[in-house]
Structure 1
């Protein structure tokens, strides 16, 4: 859809540009969950989180750099693993990868990427992370994982919070999950059996499958989709190197708690040695600051990057990331924080 609007100067401008350019059905798919009870809880939690101004603090020479699993990044914002990015721009995931690299950041490639893993990795220039969805069996999951490994990924984000199939957008012929095997035949159900419990959940991962995956790779392994501290502790005990607190952007369980509300208990439960990341509901650099102040080591940025992609390809994604970083730096300066480490709870 060709729409001419003024050049975007803010993240909100990019949202409106994306809404104008995308087909209404595609926009609804992208925006799904933002206005669910869970999505509204995400927004309310961020809006209710205070930031304390600390004027006169000397923050000269401040920066947003972090180290995560031995990797130096210019800021604590990773591009979240969103599916089928060629729906939003012909350059798809390649554009996002180039933007992440241009902004000295990191990208997480989705299992449902619409371009080959190695093509995306070459565009990224630095080894990207990989988000793994369970493929219904260990053999199928291993095949997908091996394709990602062949592309040189440096960390694995195992996403487990969406095992029950949701209604999905009908994909155009030229866009699909090109790295997946052909879909397996659905499980045949007997009379009286449940489509959920006897069908979908039979193919969902369990804690034993997480342990199997841990044994499969020495790469950093993060569990994404955690909201309960007991699950976070269990994940660490079974060998996970990090946790991603997430409610899937409000898209899966309408009554789930806000990610930001769940974060402090999880950070406390796993202890200071385990990196805890957060996604769901971040729309601004101030939201990033709020997540860091609640205990997150870094955050994942989802929809805002796709607004940038739909609005102006790689340049749009890069500009959205730069706008987020500018807002984060301004917020840090006003609160007297010269580094990301200084934001974390208990810091002076």
Structure 2
């Protein structure tokens, strides 16, 4: 979906249309969850501190997120996908992989399927979607960004390897800033540079990700579209109105986060063994601390106790804290359903 949260807000409020818009917290302390295309012209993007976004775009309008509305629209879109194929692997509320090799419409050309799905989404929701079509997941993902907004692109088997060779690795899906910087230190800045490294080299320096990088450098990605993929984590975050330096106050702020995470787990009938605390300091540097328990946590208090112990490992704080987050991972329960898969780990303002 194109600027999904922001587009929903502009759809539902005509006064916001054509204006630079950010969905997220207040201009003083929040973080941008989504930015309209009008705001992106000014360099505003998701995950940007709201104060930075406001500085880049003084006329930026902030609206609070409405995740219940976004989820409802996502379910409408998911229902449209299901008219074409049962092989749907959601990545978030606004993005999914579809395998249409054999589809319910009996259509032979994937580009026509993508165009029809996009038209149906516009008809049903009033929103625009973009699509990438290719012979594997990595290239389909990369193609989906080529003609945004409201467009689609194809990367064929013939063109796939050449496309990857010319692409900067920092633009690869699955290569974050830290990994891109590590690659740069080894002389890897393009897909061609990556292709010239041996499998042994990539395994030595990038561990389990080595074979994946070796494959995508050649336009190869054997991962299947998996509709039964289980969500890996559940988490919540809070950016504070004022920075925190006191441990007891910081621990107090962990309580509603632990409770929010556990409410989600209870609703889905799941639990997890690994608790992670995220600490973002006043200078926007951050740290994480994790602990894996022998058995799944039993309640919110269990999450809170573990999170508090983890927070204590960084006290005294090296500087004031502006944000805390709590995540539960190593989730366990074979019956986790589609609803759990649909919900990404949001930065939730409490």
TM-score normalized by the length of structure 1:
0.24
Q: Which has the higher contact order (CA 8 A, sep 6+)?
A: 1
Report which of the two has the higher share of strand: 2
TM-score normalized by the length of structure 2:
0.24
Choose 1 or 2 for highest CA Rg: 2
